[in-house]
Structure 1
Amino acid sequence: MSTVDYTFKNDAADEADDAIRPAELEAMRPLPRISVHAFCESEAMLRTMERCAQDRRLAKVSLKISSASIAAAANMFASAPTPNLLILETSAQPGDIMEELAPLAEVCDPSTKVVIVGRYNDIPLYRELIRNGISEYMVGPVGMTDVLAAMSAIFVDPDAEPLGRSLAFIGAKGGCGSSTIAHNCAFDISNLFQTEVILADLDLPYGTANIDFDQDPPQGISEAIYSPDRLDEVFLDRLLAKCSQHLSLLAAPSMLDRGYDLERGSFQPILEVLQRSAPITVLDVPHAWSEWTRTLLSEVDELVITAVPDLANLRNAKNMLDALKKLRPNDKPPHLILNQVGLPKRPEISPSDFCEPLGVEPVAIIPFDAQLFGAASNSGRMIAEMDRKSPTAETFSQIAHLVTGRATMKKPKKAGIGKMLGLLGRK
């Protein structure tokens, strides 16, 4: 992740919240591997750059931030190479800015891009700066979205093909049904919207996607992980198994012939290729908490946590939501799905009591239905294939709309409403 070379009190961190425009942020693509150094004169600019440093779109960016002036930048780079991008804040009068920049211009590499944040809305100044090679001039105070948009305009090719969205599903506890929900949602997205979807099973030793789709591919995700030098769209295409007209599977080996001690960034090259290969990538993430899962969950576009209404799931879900809020400070909270609600003879926490300490509402409540899910699993079919008109199939359809941004759920979708009414109030 980005590195920050300063410390200060962030007493007014919430102050910058109104500068974050979620719709614009979601539309921004991740920045490439570049080096950036920001020189800030004000506390407000320092706070803005700190928020930028925490954003997942800068995961590959090496970002340094200094509380210093343009003159200090000139002194520093007199004996050090300049980065790909300099962000410079100045309080100088419009007539003095070019003079202030002169010493830096003498030591700045010609390929280095420069963004100036000034205090004056002056059109002649803007034109003069652009004419002299400055990439952008912004009038402060600026928000995090403004800075990210300026960086994106410089380093992200607007003519490049758009990256596909990545949707990660993870369970609050083992056995809560996160994989089943991920597989059904991937199937529904591909069918309902007639769009290409790649389902990647990241549970290398125990993944079940191949069983759920009745597939036995000879190759899969392990070949991609252990051959990163060969990984491109052509190589990926050879590893995919076709599950339906628009759904392809990158299967896990589901074997115990080796250990799977993966490095922090093991899945990052795969995710990049997947996002270039299909409009939607669904990631079935195992219930684990390691460096690679933390890194992956911090970088995806949408997150879905599945939980069963018991005490262990509640504790784990709370811990995950708190950790993910720190990992993704500028993103909306993960979606929460309550699964296996109403299991006979099992004491459980009611949905309202489960969600109150979490501070989030469930986007779906799926009842326990051993017959429907068991029959689907044993036959290698999805719920929509078994019974398209069932309440559970409708719930998966609604989740598919939600995670792809095609709909917003105002109330949790309850499958099997009739028999659920008596269960929802039960603890």
Structure 2
Amino acid sequence: MLDVEKKTTEDVGHEDTSRPVVLSRPLVVAYTADAEAEGALRSAMGDLGDKLTLVRGNVAVAIRELARSPTPQVLIVDVSDATDPLVALDDLASVCEPDVKVLVMGERTDMGFYREITRGLGVVEYLYKPLTRDNVARLFLPVVHGRMPGGAEQVGGRIITVSGTHGGVGTTTVAVNLAVQLAESTRGYVALLDLHLQTGAATTMLGVKPGAGLRVALEEPDRVDALFLERTAVAVSDRLRLLAAEEAFEATPKPTAEGVARLMTLLRRRFNYIVVDMPTPADAALLSIFSMAQMRLLVMTPDVVSIRDATRLKTMLTAVTGSDKALMVLNRAGMQGAVATKLVERGLETKVDFAIPEIPKHLAMAADLGVPAATRNRTFAAAMQRLTKEVSGVRVGGRSGGWLSRLLGR
């Protein structure tokens, strides 16, 4: 007899709310709203045995449970009774790892709906009810076995680079707190990548020690395998991991283009957001990350040197990516002796997108305690939250633009 784990909606509500980022993931989890659909899945996928988990519940149950349990490799959800299936699927994207293959069932039979969820939201396949064993075996089962339909897009996480005009402007402070708030507000999986291999401060600000292997990954991509993240990424919370290094000052790290590409590919497969704390100036191999990024933040302070170097950074971005598009983040706004914001904008010949006020006492104390500054000061937290919303595109009162638009920045 088929050994299938069966859960009820009531069971889902009593599970532990914590969830680590894990590499061991279920193969298939299916959320079905009725017994008939469940029977069709059970019949067509019976050979999977205990690799198939059936949960009685709709897409809302899936969202609630996957916010605190591992994302399966293949996820089947029922949107039959969803008020707005498109919004529900968009919400589902925020709690799943980017590489999940999503299969959807529902009542809608129009081609427009099929095209929107498969082409616009990144869903792999859709079946309308009633399900049959033949349809499930023909259209869903091949995806389980790794055979993707022609034209299916590979989803991946959103890369956000954070660069400072020069040392001491607060680049790492912004990157760390952005990563923390992204994890908390979106409930997506977030990786913070500190590429200051010898002088990085992210570990100190978060009160953790760096893992081993980041330099090796950047220099020797052939040694990076599927277990790389498990060995190298440090768990900061259930949704946030940090990749950092503390190489000796006499060392000479030499990232390669292949190593950078391999690392970013691994991270995009696993995390919804990758916040990259970029050194200034960056190694030639690291510059390629700017081209991969969906969003670039330039952090500066209100002084003449920052104005000069912000302009130089934008020139560099144009040379590397063909565009100088970036969000200008004015940190320490209002500090003693600061250049007025209007004069900063005149020097930049563009508006400042976000201003973070000067709160040196709270920032220093937070860094010494190894906790995110946003947890210590409401003013700073509010400023960072506005930036976080811009970066994440989290919906406020309406759709944010879809699965792929949020995860891929399209």
Identify if the C-alpha distance between structure 1 residues 245 and 338 changes in structure 2 by more than 3 Å, giving closer, same or farther: same
1:286 aligns with 2:276: no
1:303 aligns with 2:293: no
Pairs within 5 Å for 1:371-390: 371-387=361-377, 390=378
Determine helix, strand or coil for the equivalent of 2:227.
helix
Task: Return the alpha-carbon distance in structure 1 between the equivalents of residues 177 and 265 of structure 2.
Answer: 23
Residues 285-330 of structure 1 show CA distances to partners (whole Å, capped at 9, x for unaligned) of 112144223322222111000001111111110111123134333x
Over the matched positions of the two proteins, sequence identity in percent amounts to 23
Task: Return the alpha-carbon distance in structure 2 between the equivalents of residues 398 and 299 of structure 1.
Answer: 24
Question: What one-letter code is carried by the residue in structure 1 that aligns with 2:388?
Answer: A
Residues 201-257 of structure 1 show CA distances to partners (whole Å, capped at 9, x for unaligned) of 111010111111111134141132233113234222221110011100111224324
1:340 aligns with 2:328: no
1:220/1:253 contact within 8 Å kept: no
Q: How many residues are paired up? A: 249
Task: Return the alpha-carbon distance in structure 2 between the equivalents of residues 314 and 173 of structure 1.
Answer: 10
Identify if the C-alpha distance between structure 1 residues 181 and 407 changes in structure 2 by more than 3 Å, giving closer, same or farther: farther
Deviation at 1:158, TM superposition (A): 4.0
Deviation at 1:269, TM superposition (A): 1.3
Determine helix, strand or coil for the equivalent of 2:199.
coil
Task: Return the alpha-carbon distance in structure 2 between the equivalents of residues 358 and 178 of structure 1.
Answer: 18
TM-score (norm 1): 0.55
Q: 1:397 aligns with which of 368, 381, 385?
A: 385
Pairs within 5 Å for 1:245-260: 245-260=238-253
CA RMSD, 1 decimal: 2.3
1:237 aligns with 2:225: no
Could you tell me which residue of structure 1 aligns to residue 176 of structure 2? 183
Could you tell me which residue of structure 1 aligns to residue 342 of structure 2? 352
Larger RCO: Structure 1 or Structure 2 (Cα < 8 Å, ≥ 6 residues apart)?
2
Residues 371-404 of structure 1 show CA distances to partners (whole Å, capped at 9, x for unaligned) of 11011101111123224xx121011111111112
Unmatched 5+ stretches in structure 2: 1-148, 397-410
Task: Return the alpha-carbon distance in structure 2 between the equivalents of residues 396 and 233 of structure 1.
Answer: 33
Could you tell me which residue of structure 2 aligns to residue 269 of structure 1? 262
Deviation at 1:367, TM superposition (A): 1.9
Determine helix, strand or coil for the equivalent of 1:253.
coil
Task: Return the alpha-carbon distance in structure 2 between the equivalents of residues 367 and 355 of structure 1.
Answer: 16
Task: Return the alpha-carbon distance in structure 2 between the equivalents of residues 256 and 187 of structure 1.
Answer: 28
Pairs within 5 Å for 1:194-233: 194-233=187-226
1:342/1:368 contact within 8 Å kept: yes
Identify if the C-alpha distance between structure 1 residues 325 and 226 changes in structure 2 by more than 3 Å, giving closer, same or farther: closer
Identify if the C-alpha distance between structure 1 residues 358 and 264 changes in structure 2 by more than 3 Å, giving closer, same or farther: farther
Task: Return the alpha-carbon distance in structure 2 between the equivalents of residues 215 and 302 of structure 1.
Answer: 27
Larger radius of gyration: 1
Task: Return the alpha-carbon distance in structure 2 between the equivalents of residues 238 and 161 of structure 1.
Answer: 25
Determine helix, strand or coil for the equivalent of 1:256.
coil
Task: Return the alpha-carbon distance in structure 1 between the equivalents of residues 205 and 171 of structure 2.
Answer: 13
Question: What one-letter code is carried by the residue in structure 2 that aligns with 1:355?
Answer: E
Identify if the C-alpha distance between structure 1 residues 362 and 297 changes in structure 2 by more than 3 Å, giving closer, same or farther: same
Deviation at 1:360, TM superposition (A): 2.6
Determine helix, strand or coil for the equivalent of 2:241.
strand
Question: What one-letter code is carried by the residue in structure 2 that aligns with 1:249?
Answer: L
Q: 1:312 aligns with which of 294, 305, 311?
A: 305
Task: Return the alpha-carbon distance in structure 2 between the equivalents of residues 293 and 235 of structure 1.
Answer: 19
Pairs within 5 Å for 1:81-160: 158-160=151-153
Unmatched 5+ stretches in structure 1: 1-155, 409-427
Task: Return the alpha-carbon distance in structure 2 between the equivalents of residues 231 and 377 of structure 1.
Answer: 32
